[in-house]
């Protein structure tokens, strides 16, 4: 198997008309940049939406970099098979241990510093804002995107892979979940958001849902912006927003509200 790393994307000269997919060219590693490694059967799915807006600009600016590893390149035989039937019988196909080992070893060979190794799985621990903050504090993350009936369990045991889920539902593969998790993490990296306070004030940052937001015009279709927000009294505005966050969370996510108010149980 080749020692050449997967397709990489990072800081380079970018024309205004360049499409997100064109960012995925062979480039040297960017020292000090947060790195997302994706092991997948569909490397063409990346950067996808991550190449747009703030995450796309941060990618161009070298605040993070993306490396994809095509599982098909590690396939077995002339047809580069990556899966086989489940041991013991059953429907579907399972990604082979030897194929996954080669891809994971190749990816991890290029890691520098501390990078969690994660398999995107519906049976894993649910991804949340706290996990995004934890990943952002690391040097990057390696994400294994499953397909079919999943991966050989021995791979998870051998490499000590952490299983993480986007939610209580099943998807056809881990690529969409990977993009969502990377997006949530990248926006927490220094310099990505134009206003650092945005990451502090938004939903889940303090364990509660975000307060309502308003903008011009002051009155629309008979609905007015709450007067307190136009008062200029920052202390009263902050108190109103805290109260609104608390109320909305208690109403819509009582599970989160209980975590934020353990003494009220």
> Where are the domains positioned within the chain?
7-186, 202-264
Query: Burial letters for 220-247: b for 16+ Cβ neighbours within 10 Å, e otherwise?
Result: eeeeeeeeebeeeeeeebeebbeebbbe
pLDDT-based confidence at residue 200 (cuts at 50, 70, 90): low
Among residues 42, 21, 32, 9, the alpha carbon closest in space to that of 177 is found at 42
What is the structure's pLDDT at 263? Answer: 81
What is the structure's pLDDT at 101? Answer: 98
Share of the chain above pLDDT 70, in %: 85
Alpha-carbon distance of 143 to 163, in angstroms, equals 10
pLDDT digits (tens, 9 = 90+) for 76-115: 999 999 999 999 999 999 999 999 999 999 999 977 789 9
Q: Starting at the earlier edge strand, list the strands of the sheet with 64-70.
A: 7-9, 64-70, 34-40, 140-145, 117-126, 162-165
Burial of 150 (0-12, 13-18, 19+ CB in 10 A): buried
What is the structure's pLDDT at 205? Answer: 56
What is the structure's pLDDT at 7? Answer: 77
22 pLDDT above the threshold of 50:
no
Higher pLDDT, 123 or 200: 123
pLDDT-based confidence at residue 124 (cuts at 50, 70, 90): very high
Domain 7-186 has CATH 3.30.465.10: no
What is the structure's pLDDT at 254? Answer: 95
The answer to whether residues 228 and 237 touch, using CB atoms and an 8 Å cutoff, is yes
pLDDT digits (tens, 9 = 90+) for 126-175: 999 999 999 999 999 999 999 989 999 999 999 999 999 999 999 999 99
Domain 202-264 has CATH 1.10.1270.20: yes
Q: Do 202-264 and 7-186 fall under one CATH topology?
A: no
What is the structure's pLDDT at 155? Answer: 98
Share of the chain above pLDDT 90, in %: 76
């Amino acid at each position: 198997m080749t020692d050449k790393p997967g397709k990489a994307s990072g800081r380079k000269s970018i024309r205004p008309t360049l499409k997100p997919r064109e960012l995925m060219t062979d480039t040297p590693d960017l020292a000090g940049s947060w790195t997302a490694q994706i092991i997948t059967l569909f490397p063409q799915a990346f950067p996808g939406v991550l190449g747009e807006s703030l995450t796309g600009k941060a990618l161009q600016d070298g605040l993070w970099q993306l490396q994809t590893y095509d599982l098909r390149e590690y396939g077995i035989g002339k047809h580069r098979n990556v899966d086989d039937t489940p041991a013991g019988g059953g429907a579907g196909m399972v990604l082979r241990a030897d194929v996954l080992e080669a891809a994971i070893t190749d990816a991890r060979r290029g890691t520098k510093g501390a990078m969690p190794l994660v398999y995107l799985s519906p049976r894993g621990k649910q991804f949340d804002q706290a996990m995004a903050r934890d990943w952002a504090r690391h040097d990057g993350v390696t994400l294994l995107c499953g397909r079919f009936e999943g991966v050989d369990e021995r791979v998870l045991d051998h490499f000590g892979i952490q299983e993480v889920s986007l939610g209580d539902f099943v998807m056809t593969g881990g690529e969409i979940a990977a993009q969502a998790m990377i997006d949530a993490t990248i926006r927490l990296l220094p310099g990505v958001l134009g206003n650092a306070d945005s990451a502090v004030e938004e939903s889940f940052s303090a364990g509660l849902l975000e307060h309502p937001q308003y903008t011009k015009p002051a009155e629309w279709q008979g609905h007015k912006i709450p007067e307190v927000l136009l008062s200029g009294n920052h202390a009263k505005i902050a108190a109103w927003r805290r109260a609104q966050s608390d109320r909305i969370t208690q109403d819509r996510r009582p599970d989160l509200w209980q975590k934020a108010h353990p003494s009220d149980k």
